[in-house]
Amino acid sequence: MKKILITGVAGLLGSRLSDWIIDNTNYEVIGIDDLSGGFIENINPKVKFYKFNLTNLNKLKEVFKNENIEIVYHFAAYAAEGLSPFIRKFNYENNIIASSNLITCSIEFNIKRFVFASSMAVYGDKYEPPFHEDLLQAPIDPYGVAKYAVEMDLKIASHQHGLNYTIIRPHNFYGINQNIWDKYRNVLGIWMYQILNKESPTIFGDGSQVRAFSYVDDSVIPFWNASQNDNCKGEIINLGGTKEYSISDACNILINVTGQNIKPVYLEPRHESKYAWATWDKSIELLGFEHKVNLEEGTAKMWEWAKKQPNRERYVWPEYELNKGIYEYWKS
Ligand SMILES: NC(=O)c1ccc[n+]([C@@H]2O[C@H](COP(=O)([O-])OP(=O)(O)OC[C@H]3O[C@@H](n4cnc5c(N)ncnc54)[C@H](O)[C@@H]3O)[C@@H](O)[C@H]2O)c1
């Protein structure tokens, strides 16, 4: 049986893609995750699962030696963009060093295609949206810098060693299996956690920031096509979000879906891009992307799932690397 490696297999995108591959293809899925941000319950029982941190190059080489892997999907990362300036060391080790280990093994073991989940964060705040793939990367935070660095490393690996890659820049996918217990990331998940716990949903700034959102199931076939289609080789492709919303509007849509009598609370503004959404024509052409699930439907599905989840303890960073400039809401 041919084998696909999915890193971050316990997380949102990795778990949903592995479910789809198992149900719809003849590939066996090999999964790696350290369960730092995803959950064992999310992993399909048919996945051959290895639990470790990708910063461990020796362990990773063992997996590549034992499994005859053909394709790599790299989803593992800690995607807390706003927090990344306060945990720089962790961010760069976890998001760059881990990725470079995977690139090293993919070169050594002749992987046919490396699909990397980069981020819209590489565009930063100097461009007028919608962001097009041809724009030069200009990230404004360490998370975006890490994604940019990995994109560059893949280009070098392709140029020098012939590694075939496809870079996908997803934009605010949400849905079942998402981590809703982390205080710092996944805006819809943070609000769901707050609403479930009878807290008001929090918004940094005045809520006029603009973002687009997509339901996770709409990402699966495009991600699959990214490793299968020859015309995706060496390409960078935005994925997600054909309709943009202000953050206040998105929050009110979710509040309506939950049927709760609750209002958002507005916090101090934070360091972030105000307007960020991207073009999607390339994803339609090369990946067959279709925006099937709108925000009302998608958040309704996720809310039904969230209500049935165990009451896990909220994840709060035990000690920031830098306290200077940390936002009030994150102090306690
Ligand atoms: N969800 C989105 O809309 C979105 C948007 C932009 C970029 N991305 C990128 O896509 C990828 C997947 O996103 P997601 O939403 O599924 O995130 P997620 O947090 O749900 O999943 C990431 C998984 O990686 C694991 N992980 C993290 N660091 C690891 C390490 N060093 N070694 C082993 N495992 C590790 C975590 O435990 C988690 O299960 C990430 O790289 C993220 O940066 C996602």
CATH number at residue 312: 3.90.25.10
- Hey, CA dihedral for 94, 98, 38, 292, is it positive or negative? positive
Whose tokens are 């048919």? That residue is 46
Average pLDDT over residues 152-172: 98
230, 310: one domain: no
168, 41: one domain: yes
40, 72: one domain: yes
Range of the structural domain that residue 80 is part of: 3-173+215-239
Pocket lining: 241 vs ligand 1, CB cutoff 6 Å? no
Ligand 1 centroid to residue 323 C-alpha, Å:
25
Number of structural domains found in the chain: 2
CB 77 within 8 A of CB 9: no
pLDDT at 1: 87
85, 146: one domain: yes
Average pLDDT over residues 176-186: 97
Ligand 1 centroid to residue 11 C-alpha, Å:
6
93, 232: one domain: yes
pLDDT at 99: 99
Residue 66 carries which side chain, given as an amino acid letter?
N
Does any domain span residue 302?
yes
CATH number at residue 80: 3.40.50.720
Average pLDDT over residues 145-172: 98
Q: Which residue has the higher pLDDT, 51 or 332?
A: 51
Q: pLDDT tens for residues 53-112?
A: 999 999 999 999 999 999 999 999 999 999 999 999 999 999 999 999 999 999 999 999
Q: In percent, how much of the chain has pLDDT > 90?
A: 99
Instruction: Examine the pLDDT at 5 and tell me if it is beyond 80.
Output: yes
Q: pLDDT tens for residues 194-239?
A: 999 999 999 999 999 999 999 999 999 999 999 999 999 999 999 9
Does any domain span residue 303?
yes
Does any domain span residue 17?
yes
128, 193: one domain: no
Ligand 1 centroid to residue 129 C-alpha, Å:
24
Q: Which residue's CA is minimally distant from atom 28 of ligand 1?
A: 77
- Nearest atom, ligand 1, residue 93 CA: 31
Instruction: Examine the pLDDT at 332 and tell me if it is beyond 80.
Output: no
Average pLDDT over residues 147-169: 98
Q: Average model confidence (pLDDT) for the chain?
A: 98
233, 103: one domain: yes
12, 51: one domain: yes
**241 pLDDT band (50/70/90 cuts)?**
confident
71, 134: one domain: yes
Pocket lining: 218 vs ligand 1, CB cutoff 6 Å? no
